[in-house]
Amino acid sequence: MLSFIENIGQKTINIVKSVYEASSFVSELILHVFYPKSYNPAMIMVLVKQIYFTAIGILPVFVFMAVLFGSGVIGAIISLALKYNLQSQIGSIIVTFSIDEFAPFFTALLISLRSSTAVNTEIAVMKVNKELNTLKKYNINLIDYLFVPRIISGIVSVTSLSALFAIIMIASGFVFSFFYMGLDFWTYKNLIFESVEIKDIVVLVLKGMAFGFVTMVIPIYSGLNAFNSYTAIPISVLNGMVKLFIAIFFIEVLSLMLQLM
Amino acid sequence: MQEFEFDGVEISQDTPLISNLDIKENIALIKEVHEKKERQSAEKEAVMMLDKLGMKHISNLRKNSCSGFEILCAMVARAFMCKENSIVVKMPFGIDNSLNDIDRLFEKIYKLNGIIEKKVTVFDLDSNRYRYERAECNILK
């Protein structure tokens, strides 16, 4: 009985300790994003490279996926809306679904699969190879040089790619509206413009920023916590990805709940 | 055993080059971060130092494409870019396993000392003492 209570106590202490460590790490990261002294030519170079790898390098695959999945999903939504006689609501259905929900969520998933895994592996490899130790010994701040550029690139990339995904989805919506409902381009354009509200843009930007932040912070933290052996790298990536996907779903559910309130 | 305290820059197996940067970027990084020097100017300085070492050809290579001695020299050049006046090389034969003659390293250090004067100290095991006995350096125990 005593050992059972001790176990619960030990587990609680461990959880509180890891939550405290993670939150102090995240708050330090956020502070450094706003410190002007975090920005130097080396850091800016890393930032440019990161934005290139995260947002530009993925573009061909991303556009292909957006056209493929965007068209499929928007086609299904339009046909369902017609089935339930919701023609009058079609504009707001397309806008809400593509801008508020599907675009940021799908973009976050794609960026997680491509860039977050890379960042997690990179940081874990640097730790195991003692390269992080080199940076510390040469008084190069890890947060400024390695982490802040990745966080900013995550936020910029996920937000801008979410907007691109939403535009592609809405454009695909026109093709389906044309064939299913016989809507011409101008009518469709007016329908969409009348349905878009400031709230939709705010939701897209905020969700993009939140997704972008977690897609980089969680892999960085997981990579940093890898043990000093090569066999620890895949375990670190695995743990990081599981936590990241939980965080993405949590943000999605939270945003849905906030919008319903 | 007498302990030596150094505030200097460390060159050891615990301070390897960064593998996702090429050699000149590794050397230039110090100036870019500490002195906020523009990338091109810092890299020009790094290439100049490599040229002085007779290793300009490795400027654009990553460490995986370099020999152990080239990596060791690049680490020395990087340490010379720091503001600190003293440099500590810890167990150079461990950094470059193929290094037979310590004079090869000292020759490169003297070349860099001609541009920027630094106090360089080498730490090694007593079992490696024989490797230093013919070299032009003071041996402390």
Does residue A2 form part of some domain?
no
Query: Residue A130: its chain B contacts at CB < 8 A?
Result: 13-16
Q: Supply the ipTM of this predicted assembly.
A: 0.88
DSSP chain A: -HHHHHHHHHHHHHHHHHHHHHHHHHHHHHHHHH-GGG--HHHHHHHHHHHIIIIITTHHHHHHHHHHHHHHHHHHHHHHHHHTT-GGGHHHHHHIIIIIIIHHHHHHHHHIIIIIHHHHHHHHHHHHTTHHHHHHHTT--HIIIIIHHHHHHHHHHHHHHHHHHHHHHHHHHHHHHHHHH---HHHHHHHHHHH--HHHHHHHHHHHHHHHHHHHHHHHHHHHT--SSTTHHHHHHHHHHHHHHHHHHHHHHHHHHHHH-
- For residue A46, give how far its alpha carbon lies from the nearest alpha carbon of chain B (Å): 10
- Is the Cβ pair B16, A122 closer than 8 Å? no
Does residue A87 form part of some domain?
yes
Does residue A89 form part of some domain?
yes
Range of the domain at A173: 59-131+157-260
Query: Residue A139: its chain B contacts at CB < 8 A?
Result: 34
Query: Residue B89: its chain A contacts at CB < 8 A?
Result: none
Does residue A11 form part of some domain?
no
Does residue A95 form part of some domain?
yes
- For residue B73, give how far its alpha carbon lies from the nearest alpha carbon of chain A (Å): 16
pLDDT per residue as tens, chain A (261 positions): 888 999 999 999 999 998 999 999 999 999 999 999 889 989 999 999 999 999 999 999 999 988 888 888 888 888 888 888 887 888 888 888 889 989 999 999 999 999 999 999 999 999 999 999 999 999 999 999 999 999 999 999 999 999 999 999 888 888 888 887 777 888 888 888 888 999 999 999 999 999 999 999 999 999 999 998 999 999 999 999 999 999 999 999 999 898 887
Query: Residue B14: its chain A contacts at CB < 8 A?
Result: 130, 133-134, 137
> Which domains can be identified in chain B, with CATH numbers?
9-131 (3.40.50.300)
Report the number of distinct structural domains present in chain A: 1
- For residue B5, give how far its alpha carbon lies from the nearest alpha carbon of chain A (Å): 15
Does residue A103 form part of some domain?
yes
Nearest CA in chain B to A136: B15
Does residue A99 form part of some domain?
yes
Nearest CA in chain B to A38: B33
